[in-house]
Amino acid sequence: MADDNKSASHEVRSNLPPLELHVPQPKFRPGDPVDYSHIHVPKAGKQARPDIAADAKETNELVYDLVRVLDDDGKAVGPWNPKLSTDILINMLEKMVLVRAFDERLFRAQRQGKTSFYMKCRGEEATSVAAAFALASDDMVFPSYRQQGVLITRGYPLIEMVNQIFSNKGDKLKGRQLPIMYCSREHSFFTISGNLATQYPQAVGWAMASAIKGDTRIAATWCGEGSTAEGDFHSACTFAAVYNAPVILNVVNNQWAISSFSGFAGAERTTFAARAVGYGIAGLRVDGNDPLAVYAATSWAAERARTNKGPTLIEHFTYRTEGHSTSDDPSAYRSTDESKDWPLGDPVNRLKQHLISLGVWDDERHAALDKKMAETVKDVAKAAEKNGVLGHGLHQPFATMFEDVFEELPWHLREQSEQADRERAIKWPNR
């Protein structure tokens, strides 16, 4: 009973100011006009690029800055300009457009009742696509649930993604995982967990193993800014620092963790990149809506890791344009103007403008690309639908429910598997 709580019932000393609890509040709620004047956007190209072999502390200023390459005119400027060929830039744009088209289609498929769940990455495409371009294809990635851009960039068949989302009979994961929790060892893409930041210490452990074995592959992992509050994040940073692990630790700061703004992970006080300073590892804060900046930062960190210079923490400063998932409505907790007025623009549009400024792209070609990718995804989704949609869910033999719990089926699971089949004969005699 509350009345018995001794600490709550003692007498407050009247000669001292009462203590106050600070509960963070976001600047804007639904209906509020948005004013982003508190966000300092430095000029593109003004950020120094330390040598790959530099001591980690030489990045300390960059954790409070913002590495930017594309200026307001779409020109690539400054020391971080990765000077990518036109072919690579167009390829990158194609992948980002494809990711966006895929998200649009599969989000709709969920709304049409074809599956239970979907998560878009709109506005954050650069943080996975451009990063994947900067990594070797066999570098191991430990993604969170919003890095479909990595999988698509690495050429994972889209139809396998849709099969997984529909949990149909073609689903390679046998309908065991929530939609979008992909896995592909062949594409060096680790199985996605629904528990947040668990992939962080795993990525560090994988990188340690690679170093123990004298391998040349590095690891990269992603989590949202909200998940940096998890103990796993800090354990991972400690291990990465202690063992100088060849790993890239990406924090996608998209401002929102479901309905909790970044202040609930500490953003009112400092940046997420600044966490690196305390751990003594390299840290970069990057314009996450600038694909060239993301590419440049990732390749800088990758080269460091690959040359035994250790881990890098990269904060990608971006904005989650859509809801967290199909299960929430962001207009219930934040101002709709936030997305529209976001001071760093849209990553697809910025890369498009860059290509236009180079004279190799135009609105017509872009419209054609949008159309082509939408059609590609439409065809893939239709083909996958032939394998079924979630619906009743009974797409796999019931025995698959019991397989892979252990390498071999123990007696108790064998008994339970037989029970499930007996129940099936009664509950669904015709299926």
Partner 1 sequence: MAEQMISDEAASKSGDQPDTPRMNMIEAINSALDVMLSRDPNVILMGEDIGYFGGVFRCTAGLQEKHGLTRVFDTPISECGIIGAAVGMGAYGLRPVPEIQFADYIYPGIDQLISEAARLRYRSVGEFISPLTVRSPFGGGIFGGQTHSQSPESLFTHVAGLKTVIPSTPYDAKGLLIASIEDNDPVIFFEPKRIYNGPFDGFYDKPVQPWSKHDGSEVPEDYYRVELGKANIVRAGTEFTVLAYGTMVHVAKAVVEAHGVDAEVIDLRTLVPLDIETIEASVKKTGRCLIVHEATRTSGFGAELAALVQERCFYHLEAPVERVTGFDTPYPHSLEWAYFPGPVRIGDAIAKLLKD
Contact positions vs partner 1 (CB under 8 A): 140, 142, 172-174, 176-177, 181, 183-185, 190-191, 193, 195, 198, 200-213, 219, 231-232, 235-236, 238-239, 242, 404-407, 410-412
Q: Smallest distance, Å, CB 162 to partner 1?
A: 17
Q: Smallest distance, Å, CB 417 to partner 1?
A: 13
Name which of 75 and 169 has its Cβ closer to partner 1: 169
Q: Smallest distance, Å, CB 77 to partner 1?
A: 38
Tell me the CA end-to-end span of the chain in Å, nearest whole number: 54
The beta-strand segments (E) located in 264-308 are: 282-287
Q: Smallest distance, Å, CB 264 to partner 1?
A: 20
Element (H, E) at 314: strand 312-317
What number of other Cβ atoms are within 10 A of residue 317's Cβ? 28
Residue 95, both tokens: 């992948």
Q: d(Cα 258, Cα 342) in Å, to the nearest integer?
A: 18
Name which of 185 and 269 has its Cβ closer to partner 1: 185
**∠ Cα 408 405 167 (to 5°):** 125
Residue 302, both tokens: 């990758």
Beta-carbon contacts of 407 under 8 Å, excluding residues fewer than 6 positions away, are: none
Nearest to 271 by CA among 126, 119, 66, 105: 66
Name which of 36 and 243 has its Cβ closer to partner 1: 243
Name which of 58 and 186 has its Cβ closer to partner 1: 186
Q: Smallest distance, Å, CB 192 to partner 1?
A: 8
What number of other Cβ atoms are within 10 A of residue 342's Cβ? 19
Name which of 182 and 256 has its Cβ closer to partner 1: 182
Q: Smallest distance, Å, CB 409 to partner 1?
A: 10
Residue type, 224: G
Are 29 and 331 in contact by the 8 Å Cβ rule? The answer is no
State the residue for tokens 């990465």. 240
Q: Smallest distance, Å, CB 76 to partner 1?
A: 35
Q: d(Cα 154, Cα 137) in Å, to the nearest integer?
A: 7
Name which of 30 and 231 has its Cβ closer to partner 1: 231
Name which of 40 and 414 has its Cβ closer to partner 1: 414
Residue type, 397: P
